[in-house]
A and B are shown apart, each in its own frame.
Chain A
Amino acid sequence: MSEKPLLLDTDRRFRDIVIESAGKEVFNCYQCNKCSAGCPVAFAMDLLPHQVIRSVLFGKKEKVMSSGTIWLCASCETCTTRCPNEIDIAQVMDVLRQLHYESGHETPQPKILYCTLLFSTVLKKPAGSMNLAWSETFQSKAAISRKSSKKVPGKTILNWQLRCFYGESLSFFPHGSKGVKDVRTLFNQAQEHKKV
C-alpha cells in the first residue's frame, strides 16, 4: 500500500486545537532536534518529540494519535527548557494526550494510559492519595487483565506490596483530607470542559 500524498492527509482543525492550547510558538519550530536530543525517554519513542511537532504542524492526526510517544512522555519539561524557540513541547504533549483520551483511539502504550486513569480514580476516593500505591496495584491488576492478554501474576503483586510495606515506602494510614469533596466536585465540573 502506498502512502497518501502529503497534503491530502492533513487535519487543520486538529492542528488549530493544539496550537490554541499550546501557543503560537509551535509555528516557530525549525527542527533543530534539541528536544529529541535531550529527551530522557526518547530511546523508547517511535516518534521523536521534534517529529511530533512537525506532524502536528502538518495536521497528521492519525500519525500522532497512533504513536506511543504521547503517553511515554514523562512531562519532565527537558524539551521545553531546551527549546530555542520557546515552544512548550511538554504542553503540546499534554494537549495531545487530552485529545487522545477524549477520542478513545487505540494506543501502543495501553498500560501507561490505564495507570493514568487509575490515578484519577483513586484521587476521588475518601482516603485520598496516601493509599494510592496500594489501590493502584490492586486495580491495575484488574485493569490489565481485563484489557490486555498479558496478565500480571497475583504472586508478583503481593511480593511488590510486601516489599513496599517492609521497606517503609508506604504509610499504613491514609492521608485524610476534607478536600476530597471539593476534588470530586472539580472532577464533575471537568466533564463539561472537554476539548472537542
Chain B
Amino acid sequence: MKVSFFPGCSLEGTAREYGESIEEVCSSLGIELEELKDWTCCGASSAHCTNEFLSIALPARNLACAEKLESGPDHSLRSLLQPSESCGRSIDL
C-alpha cells in the first residue's frame, strides 16, 4: 500500500523521534510513504491566530500538492497521512 505523506515542520525538527517512529511503523506494516512535493508549513498554531484567510489558504496549498500527487502517474495515492496533531487540525478545517 502506498499513501501520500505530509510530514509537517515539527516531524523534522523538534519532534524528530516521532517522525522516525512513524516511518519505522509504516515500513513494518508494509505502508509506503510518498512525501508531498514542495510542501510548506500549514501555519498551524500561528497563522490561524492572526488571519482567517491564512488559516484556510496555507493548508489548502498543501492539499493541492496532495491532489497533484494523486492525479499523477501513480493513481494508488488516494489517501494522505498526516501524523502531526496541529497540522491535522488545520488541514481538517
Contact = CB atoms under 8 A, between A and B. Distances in A.
A120 B48 CA distance: 10
A190 B54 contact: yes
B contact patch SS: helix
B9 A177 contact: no
Contacts of A170: 13-14, 16
Interface in B45-88: 45-55, 57-58, 61, 65, 86
Nearest to B85: A76
**Which residue among A71, A116, A179 has the maximum number of chain B CB atoms within 10 Å of its CB?**
A179
Place the interface of chain A in its size category.
Answer: 35 or more
A132 interface: yes
Contacts of B9: 128-130, 132, 175
B86 to A, nearest CB: 7
A183 B9 CA distance: 14
A132 B13 contact: yes
B6 interface: no
A171 B15 CA distance: 11
A98 B52 contact: yes
A117 interface: yes
Q: Give the 7 A-B CB pairs with smallest separation, nearest first.
A: A129-B9, A193-B53, A119-B46, A179-B40, A129-B41, A97-B49, A179-B38
